[in-house]
């Protein structure tokens, strides 16, 4: 393992490590455009030039491997002058449209200009005009004038996705990124092109002109788009901008985790957040009166729910109640549900496995066929196989053997269709608890609004058995509550039940009572998650 000196600091690194990567370990940031840690190195931009002792000229730090006893300088006058020259060269034809560019505030070129140059342009001729607002596909827009031709996007499509979607056309100052003739970008990882682009050349249609980056807050979360559990960051604001009434969540971006998603995020997950601020969000408890729903308050809705469930159990026994939870709920939500129905009401008919639940279309990179983030958690908590299956419950509702059905985030009509719709319409008592209005929700007698993944704290267990934490970024919309809190409040009306005050208390209880979670805590989970003891498939 070679040991070298960078700016008077010694560091020992693995053989083959580049100068740029070695400097990172010391906390020394070397500017760069074309380098990306997950892509091949092409040393095209020359922005990462450094001075090496006894070398005849400056060298690119992104592509030159370290040697034992190497001495590197990253901030000499010679290096600083080279950076200014490279920036001046790049900015010759770059448009001055930072005020309207979506990348403003996050742009590498903008940052480097203020840090290393801040000099007015000496270029007096007309700039080279290139194509603007180029439609690359359903989700992406290209502005060729902003492009610094670093080639990251081309390499991403080729090396990560495995498709030849993009290329560099023409030469010199007329070089442009573009799709091949007659082709559009159609793969499921288009959003990552925005992430790898160091400037504002590639922008997402979904975020275009919606909000300035510096007005957004951030919180670590887990993508709920499938059972892979990709690590993500939710970007949100507490105010509305540009007439986008009620929009709080503006985007999801990937968060690095080598054990799960590396540094990528599929488009299904990236743009699957719209339900959070959707017009069909359930924001207040409601009760059915005749053919219509009437808004109520939590006290009334919980009283009606508790009274209805208690009546069915007393008259027909616990076997007359069926519960179908959703694996979109957190471990804490599902554990609280199990405590309520299994321990208090003695209900055995609990099953989350609706037919077709894992019949989505996956890919070989990140996206899984199972579109639920906590299927593995529901399995480990034993929420299937102890009583009737979800499909059997539907049939028993038709025959009158099951009188009350509790849907916790699940939508049987979506997966089973007309048979489920017919069954739900015959239920003596149908409770729907969830985030958005659905085909199953419209048949309910009582509606209880739940919080989305960005509005509550908790954990998901991905398909590999990795336990990962989501964090509360926003207050629940309207009067919605976290699902574990709904079960807690309902439990108080039905008898002895733990009085949880926060999600962490639910987790601590679960960690004591459920074997796979024994000994775990939010602190042990950490930002990267932890593989739990019982992770067998």
Nearest CA to 32 among 111, 99, 96, 95? 111
Percent of the chain at pLDDT exceeding 90: 86
Instruction: Inform me whether the pLDDT recorded for 464 exceeds 90.
Output: yes
Q: Token pair of 314, please?
A: 């007393």
Ordered by start, the domain boundaries in the chain are 3-91, 96-111+122-209, 286-531
| Predicted pLDDT of residue 290 | 84
| pLDDT score recorded for residue 498 | 73
What is the pLDDT at residue 243? 46
Q: Provide the pLDDT for residue 181.
A: 87
Is domain 286-531 annotated with CATH 3.40.630.10? no
Question: How confident is the model over 373-378, as a mean pLDDT?
Answer: 96
**Which CATH number is correct for 3-91, 3.50.30.10, 3.10.20.740, 3.40.80.10, 3.40.50.1860?**
3.10.20.740
Element (H, E) at 218: strand 217-222
Q: What is the domain class of 96-111+122-209 according to CATH?
A: alpha beta
Distance CA 112, CA 86 (A): 11
DSSP string, 350-399: B----TTTT-S---SSS--S---TTHHHHHHTT-SSSS--HHHHHHHHHH
Section 5-23 average pLDDT: 95
Q: Provide mean pLDDT across the span 377-394.
A: 93
**Taking 80 as the threshold, does the pLDDT of residue 244 lie above it?**
no
The strands making up 231-236's β-sheet, listed across from edge to edge, are 217-222, 231-236, 249-254
Q: What is the DSSP pairing of strand 49-52 with strand 71-73?
A: antiparallel
Question: What is residue 257's DSSP assignment?
Answer: B
pLDDT at 385: 86
Helix, strand or coil, per DSSP, at residue 424: helix
Alpha helix (H) residue ranges in 248-297:
267-270
Cβ 201 vs Cβ 177: under 8 Å:
yes
pLDDT in tens, 44-88: 999 999 999 999 999 999 999 999 999 999 999 999 999 999 999
* Band of residue 146 on the pLDDT scale cut at 50, 70, 90: very high
8 A C-beta contact, residue 510 and residue 331: yes
Taking alpha carbons only, the member of 35, 37, 69, 38 closest to residue 49 is 35
Task: Count other Cβ atoms within 10 Å, centred on residue 317.
Answer: 12
CA atoms within 13 A on the CB side of 420: 24
Q: What is the DSSP string of 126-184?
A: PPPP---SEE-BSSEEE-GGG-----HHHHHIIIII----EEEES-GGG-EEEEPTT--
The answer on pLDDT for 534 being more than 70 is: no
Whole-model pTM? Answer: 0.93
The pair of structure tokens assigned to 323 is 């519960």
Closest by Cα among 203, 269, 215, 272 to 244: 215
Is the CB of residue 409 less than 8 Å from the CB of residue 433?
A: yes
What whole-number distance in Å separates Cα of residue 322 and Cα of residue 388? 8
The pLDDT score that the predictor gives to residue 537 is 45
Cβ atoms of 470 and 459 closer than 8 Å: yes
> Measured between alpha carbons, how far apart are the two ends of the chain, in Å?
39
Higher-pLDDT residue of 9, 182: 9
Checking if the pLDDT of 490 tops 90, the result is yes
Radius of gyration of the chain (CA): 28
Confidence at residue 291, expressed as pLDDT on a 0 to 100 scale: 84
Q: What are phi and psi of 404, to 5 degrees?
A: -125, 135
pLDDT in tens, 494-533: 987 678 999 999 999 999 999 999 999 999 999 999 999 6
Instruction: Report how far residue 61's alpha carbon sits from residue 56's, in angstroms, rounded to the nearest whole number.
Output: 15
Percent of the chain past pLDDT 70, that is, above it, reads 98
| CA distance to 360, 445, 481, 505, per residue, from 457 (Å) | 27, 28, 11, 11
pLDDT digits (tens, 9 = 90+) for 307-360: 999 999 999 999 999 999 999 999 999 999 999 999 999 999 999 998 877 778
CA distance linking residue 124 with residue 171, whole number of Å:
22
In the DSSP assignment, the letter for residue 338 is H
Tokens read off for 529: 């998650």
Query: What Cα–Cα distance (Å) separates residue 328 from each residue in 230, 374, 409?
Result: 14, 6, 7
Alpha-carbon span 260 to 390, nearest angstrom: 30
Angle at which helices 483-492 and 298-316 cross, to 10°:
60
In the 8-state DSSP scheme, what is residue 464? T
- Phi then psi for residue 514, to 5 deg, are -110, 115
288, containing H or E segment: strand 286-289
Mean pLDDT of the chain: 93
Instruction: Find the mean pLDDT for residues 219-225.
Output: 97
**Among candidate residues 237, 129, 139, 150, the one with its CA nearest the CA of residue 197:** 150
């Amino acid at each position: 393992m070679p040991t070298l000196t960078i700016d008077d600091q010694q560091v020992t690194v693995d053989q083959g490590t580049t100068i740029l990567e070695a400097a990172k370990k010391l906390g020394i940031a070397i500017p760069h455009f074309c380098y990306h840690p997950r892509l091949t190195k092409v040393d095209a931009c020359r922005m990462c030039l450094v001075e090496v002792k006894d070398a005849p000229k400056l060298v690119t730090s992104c592509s030159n491997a370290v040697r034992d006893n190497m001495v590197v300088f990253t901030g000499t006058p010679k290096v600083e002058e080279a950076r200014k020259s490279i920036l001046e060269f790049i900015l010759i034809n770059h448009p001055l449209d930072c005020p309207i560019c979506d990348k403003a505030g996050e742009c590498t070129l903008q940052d480097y200009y203020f840090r290393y140059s801040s000099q007015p342009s000496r270029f007096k001729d007309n700039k080279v005009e290139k194509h603007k607002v180029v439609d690359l596909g359903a989700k992406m827009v290209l502005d060729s004038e902003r492009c610094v031709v670093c080639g990251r996007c081309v390499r991403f499509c080729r090396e990560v996705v495995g498709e030849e979607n993009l290329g560099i056309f023409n030469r010199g100052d007329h070089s442009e990124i573009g799709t091949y003739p007659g082709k559009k970008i159609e793969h499921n990882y288009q959003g990552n092109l925005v992430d790898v682009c160091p400037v504002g050349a590639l922008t997402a249609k979904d975020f275009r002109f919606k909000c300035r980056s510096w007005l957004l807050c951030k919180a670590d979360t887990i993508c709920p788009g499938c059972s892979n559990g990709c690590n993500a960051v939710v970007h949100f604001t507490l105010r509305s901008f540009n007439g986008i009434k009620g929009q709080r969540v503006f985007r999801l971006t990937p968060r690095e985790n080598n054990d799960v998603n590396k540094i990528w995020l599929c488009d299904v997950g990236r743009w699957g957040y719209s339900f959070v601020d959707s017009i069909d969000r359930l924001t207040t408890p409601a009760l059915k009166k005749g053919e219509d729903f009437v808004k109520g308050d939590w006290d009334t809705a919980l009283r009606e729910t508790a009274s209805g469930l208690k009546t069915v159990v007393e008259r027909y026994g616990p076997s007359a109640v069926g519960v179908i939870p959703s694996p979109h709920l957190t471990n804490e939500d599902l554990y609280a549900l199990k405590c309520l129905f299994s321990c208090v009401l003695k209900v055995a008919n609990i099953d989350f496995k609706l037919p077709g639940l894992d019949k989505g279309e996956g890919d070989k990179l990140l996206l899984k066929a199972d579109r639920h983030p906590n299927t593995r958690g529901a399995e480990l908590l034993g929420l299937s196989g102890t009583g009737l299956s979800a499909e059997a419950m539907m049939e028993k509702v038709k025959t009158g053997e099951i009188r009350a059905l509790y849907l916790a985030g699940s939508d049987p009509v979506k997966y089973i269709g007309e048979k489920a719709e017919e069954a739900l319409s015959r239920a003596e008592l149908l409770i729907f608890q969830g985030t958005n209005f659905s085909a199953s929700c419209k048949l309910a007698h009582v509606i209880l609004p739940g919080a989305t993944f960005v509005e509550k704290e908790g954990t998901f267990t991905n398909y590999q058995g990795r336990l990962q934490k989501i964090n509360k970024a926003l207050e629940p919309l309207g009067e919605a509550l976290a699902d574990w809190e709904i079960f807690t409040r309902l439990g108080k009306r039905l008898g002895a039940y733990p009085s949880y005050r926060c999600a962490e208390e639910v987790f601590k209880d679960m960690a004591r009572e459920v074997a796979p979670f024994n000994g775990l805590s939010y602190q042990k989970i950490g930002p990267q998650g932890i593989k739990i003891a019982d992770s067998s498939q």
